[in-house]
């Protein structure tokens, strides 16, 4: 009996519950196959970036090579959208005599509808479907309040999550043993139309490279993470987000490696702070799971749907291109446009600037980030944008608005990050570089601020306060 593993957002052979289960079933009698379905039109609808598509394709090829060593063929199936993928998957199963389909769950609303339709159709065909909860450390839906309700505030969620981790001591799913002789893998060679123009790859390709980066971060920078993570000019973050967003690494693998580093004498506070980021990821995935409207461009706080956002106009274009006249915002946006990645502190700064100072709808910013990020991940991106816009769960209070100049002075005090990405300002001293519109001539080619930070902050607060009246 043939077992089929349907890979999606889990492009790894290690710690993969669907793959482990399929191989265990096949041990009784049968063989294991695998597939990955390309749906470029759906990716366009979901604002996937060229950087992400090319990352996924490179890692799908790397996965095909790993599985081929185990005697498991990975087939690439071309569909267009999720609806098309269902019939393509059915044909593939019938062609190869598949009797059981295994896959790890995804939690966006379109993905859940697709999986429900697959199960319904395969039930009719007599093909068993088995799904597994993989994206989070604690299975989605398991971390609940005493009233069996989902948490809407991070801190109590994190306490309950840590208790669960301590009680359950999660372990990793092993890489399956070979299912047969090594075979020649299939390979993707053609980038779908519309996704050709991507920046150079941000990280190395493959599971081994991902684990090397994890080990390097924990050994070299993990202990200093708490002190360094907010300074964009420093190499203080893990650079693991592309691997996590696309399932080349799992949250379990990261957590277990971090706890091992702690047990071996690593800086406890720094590593604990990084583990907290894994918890945030689980929190946002749970929120997406419990509140499907978040997948449908809706605010978590329904009352904020009444906000009258400004017409995006030229201000949105200036924000996207990094020409707002606010140096830290511009440096961050240029980093995003040129690399497909942005430092996490700056994601908050740029999002708050767009939603609070320019008062432009967070949904436009959310979609723009997804269209550029190599680590674009619906749950985290939506959660971060709604936090910054004060429309989401556990969001920043509407009256707390980051001042990007103050943020720049605090987290890029020597102006190193700004000089790297806004070379027009490179010759300014360490004081003026944060706000060149004050005290002197602005270097040629650099714009004046497109908005007054203090006045726009007052206006944003007034608009939120009006919701209560």
Q: At residue 266, does pLDDT exceed 70?
A: no
Torsion of CA 256, 261, 265, 266, to 10 degrees: -120
Mean pLDDT of the chain: 95
Q: At residue 454, does pLDDT exceed 70?
A: yes
**Long-range Cβ contact pairs of 414-417 (< 8 A, separation 24 or more):** 414/233, 415/327, 416/233, 417/232, 417/233, 417/328, 417/331
Confidence of residue 265 (pLDDT cuts 50, 70, 90): confident
Q: Report the percent of the chain where pLDDT is more than 90.
A: 92
Per the CB < 8 A criterion, the answer to whether 391 and 362 are in contact is yes
Q: What is the pLDDT of residue 469?
A: 67
210-239 pLDDT tens trace = 999 999 999 998 989 999 999 999 999 999
Q: At residue 277, does pLDDT exceed 70?
A: yes
Per the CB < 8 A criterion, the answer to whether 371 and 430 are in contact is no
114-170 pLDDT tens trace = 999 999 999 999 999 999 999 999 999 999 999 999 999 999 999 999 999 999 999
Q: At residue 30, does pLDDT exceed 80?
A: no
In this prediction, residues 56-64 reach a mean pLDDT of 98
Query: CB-based contacts of 95: which residues, under 8 Å, 6+ apart?
Result: none
Q: How many CA atoms lie within 13 A of 287 on its CB side?
A: 29
In this prediction, residues 20-37 reach a mean pLDDT of 90
Q: What is the pLDDT of residue 204?
A: 97
Q: At residue 29, does pLDDT exceed 80?
A: no
Residues labelled as active-site residues: 277, 280, 309, 344, 362, 385
Q: At residue 61, does pLDDT exceed 90?
A: yes
Q: What is the pLDDT of residue 438?
A: 87
Per the CB < 8 A criterion, the answer to whether 126 and 46 are in contact is no
Does pTM top 0.85 for this prediction? yes
343-386 pLDDT tens trace = 999 999 999 999 999 999 999 999 999 999 999 999 999 999 99
Q: Which residues pair with 100 in a beta bridge?
A: 3, 128
Q: At residue 412, does pLDDT exceed 90?
A: yes
Q: At residue 28, does pLDDT exceed 70?
A: no
In this prediction, residues 232-260 reach a mean pLDDT of 96
Look at 438 and 138; give whichever has higher pLDDT.
138
Give the integer Cα–Cα distance in Å for 123 and 111: 18
Q: What is the pLDDT of residue 26?
A: 87
Q: What is the pLDDT of residue 123?
A: 97
Q: Could you give the domains of the chain?
A: 2-134 (3.40.50.620), 135-171+207-290 (1.25.40.80), 302-466 (1.10.579.10)
Q: How many CB atoms lie within 10 A of CB 13?
A: 23
Q: Taking the mean position of all CA atoms in its chain, how far away is CA 258?
A: 20
Per the CB < 8 A criterion, the answer to whether 385 and 367 are in contact is no
In this prediction, residues 315-344 reach a mean pLDDT of 98
Using the structure block, give the residue that is written with the tokens 């080619």: 445
In this prediction, residues 254-279 reach a mean pLDDT of 90
């Amino acid at each position: 009996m043939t077992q089929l593993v349907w890979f999606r957002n889990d492009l790894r052979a290690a710690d993969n519950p669907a793959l482990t289960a399929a191989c265990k079933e096949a041990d009784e009698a049968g063989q294991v196959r695998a597939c990955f379905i390309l749906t470029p039109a759906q990716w366009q609808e979901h604002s996937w970036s060229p950087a992400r598509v090319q990352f996924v394709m490179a890692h799908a090829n790397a996965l095909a090579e790993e599985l081929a060593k185990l005697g498991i063929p990975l087939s690439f199936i071309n569909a267009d959208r999720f609806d098309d993928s269902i019939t393509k998957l059915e044909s593939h199963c019938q062609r190869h005599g598949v009797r059981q389909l295994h896959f790890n769950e995804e939690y966006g609303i379109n993905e859940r509808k697709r999986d429900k339709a697959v199960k319904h159709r395969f039930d009719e065909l007599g093909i068993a479907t088995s799904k597994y909860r993989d994206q989070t450390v604690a299975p989605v839906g398991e971390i609940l309040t005493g009233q069996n309700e989902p948490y809407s505030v991070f801190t109590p969620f994190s306490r309950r999550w840590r208790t669960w981790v301590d009680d359950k001591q999660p372990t990793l799913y092993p890489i399956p043993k070979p299912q047969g002789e090594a075979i020649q893998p299939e390979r993707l060679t053609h980038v779908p139309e519309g996704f050709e123009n991507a920046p150079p790859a941000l990280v190395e390709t493959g599971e081994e490279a991902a684990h090397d980066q994890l080990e390097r971060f924990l050994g070299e920078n993990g202990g200093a993470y708490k002190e360094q993570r907010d300074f964009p000019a420093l190499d203080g973050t893990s650079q693991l987000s592309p691997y996590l967003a696309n399932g080349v690494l799992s949250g379990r693998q990261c957590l277990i490696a971090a706890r091992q580093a702690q047990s071996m004498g690593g800086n406890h506070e720094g590593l604990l702070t990084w583990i907290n980021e894994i918890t945030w990821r689980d929190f946002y995935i749970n929120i997406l799971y419990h509140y499907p409207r978040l997948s449908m461009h809706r605010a978590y706080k329904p009352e904020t749907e009444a906000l009258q956002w400004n017409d995006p106009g030229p201000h949105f274009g200036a924000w996207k291109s990094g020409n707002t006249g606010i140096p830290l915002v511009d440096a961050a946006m240029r980093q995003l446009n040129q690399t497909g990645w942005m430092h996490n502190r700056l994601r908050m700064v740029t999002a708050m600037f767009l939603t609070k100072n320019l008062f432009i709808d967070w949904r436009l910013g959310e979609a723009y980030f997804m269209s550029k990020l190599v680590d674009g991940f619906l749950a985290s991106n939506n959660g971060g944008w709604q936090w910054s816009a004060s429309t989401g769960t556990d969001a920043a209070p509407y009256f707390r608005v980051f001042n990007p100049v103050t943020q720049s002075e605090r987290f890029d005090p020597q102006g190193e990050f700004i000089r790297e990405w806004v070379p027009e300002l490179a010759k300014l001293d360490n004081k003026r570089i944060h706000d060149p519109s004050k005290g002197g001539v602005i270097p040629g080619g650099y714009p004046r601020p497109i908005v007054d930070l203090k006045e726009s902050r007052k206006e944003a607060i007034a608009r939120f306060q009006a919701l209560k009246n």
